[in-house]
Amino acid sequence: MKIALLGYGKMGKAIEEIAINRGHEIVLRVSEDIEAYNLDELEIDAAIDFSIPKAAYKNITTAFKHKVPVVCGTTGWLDDYEKVTKLCKEEDSAFLYASNFSLGVNVFFELNKKLAHMMKGLDDYAVEIEEIHHTEKLDAPSGTAISLAQQIIAENPNKNGWQLDHADKDEIPIYAKRIKDVPGTHTVSYESKIDTIEIMHMAKSRQGFALGAVIAAEWLKDKKGVFTMRDVLSSLF
Ligand SMILES: NC(=O)c1ccc[n+]([C@@H]2O[C@H](COP(=O)([O-])OP(=O)(O)OC[C@H]3O[C@@H](n4cnc5c(N)ncnc54)[C@H](O)[C@@H]3O)[C@@H](O)[C@H]2O)c1
Ligand SMILES: O=C(O)C1=N[C@H](C(=O)O)CCC1
């Protein structure tokens, strides 16, 4: 496949290495305003966006206009998600966003949903989420922590939202910590006076995120519509 990297930072470089090892060609590396690049002559099969929150919307929608399918891992731009999916359908293009592309986190998501379902009637337990990432991360809380909160809210009628650092009784608190070089650690805890139940995922490197993004791009090629990582991994879950 011919791949365009929209964002060529820590993740862009990790994706490049894995994509080349899997036989793909990187035909474009975008590091600034996408309008500075010519997308038309490159016959791009898929774009993979790991850029910055304020660039993601323009990158994604520009790719759609050039009939290029987009895999997006950039977090912190989701206020525009509905607009993006509408435009994807209007342009007859293809789009796949995941807050976290690693297989391990996608297994963790399924565990989180199952645990939330089991805990929803147990009022003695208070739920909270903690995420830890490297100090260069621009957004807080992480996209993954938001996904975890949304999964719990979908299962538990007593929870209506989440908040960073504190929460009302009907909300889930998310605590975001920044520590040098941490690739990404997420913990969901249920605490009562008697005990604590915890599930945790700790990434050891960026390799899992990058591999998942390349697999998603391979899967998305020649498809039309809006998809999630659950579609890619449907044979597993
Ligand atoms: N979904 C996942 O699995 C996953 C995993 C890791 C990181 N992320 C997310 O991916 C994003 C990138 O993470 P990173 O660690 O590579 O960050 P990074 O800061 O290392 O890289 C971002 C790059 O984007 C570039 N950039 C700036 N403006 C741009 C523009 N207009 N168009 C394209 N690129 C532009 C910057 O020059 C920088 O090199 C973040 O939002 C992060 O939260 C998601
Ligand atoms: O390094 C980052 O930034 C990460 N961002 C994603 C998030 O916000 O959940 C995934 C984990 C790494």
Active-site amino acid positions: 133, 137
Strands of the chain, DSSP E: 2-6, 25-30, 46-49, 70-72, 94-97, 126-133, 161-164, 171-178, 185-191, 196-202, 225-227
Residue by residue, pLDDT tens for the chain (237 residues) are 999 999 999 999 999 999 999 999 999 999 999 999 999 889 999 999 999 999 999 999 999 999 999 999 999 999 999 999 999 999 999 999 999 999 999 999 999 999 999 999 999 999 999 999 999 999 999 999 999 999 999 999 999 999 999 899 999 999 999 999 999 999 999 999 999 999 999 999 999 999 999 999 999 998 999 999 999 999 888
pTM: 0.97
Q: Do the annotations mark residue 24 as ligand-binding?
A: no
Instruction: Compute, in angstroms, the gap from residue 6 CA to the centroid of ligand 2.
Output: 16
Q: Given the CA of residue 76, which atom of ligand 1 is nearest to it? A: 41
**Is residue 42 within 8 Å of 3, Cβ to Cβ?**
no
* Atom 28 (ligand 1) nearest CA: 32
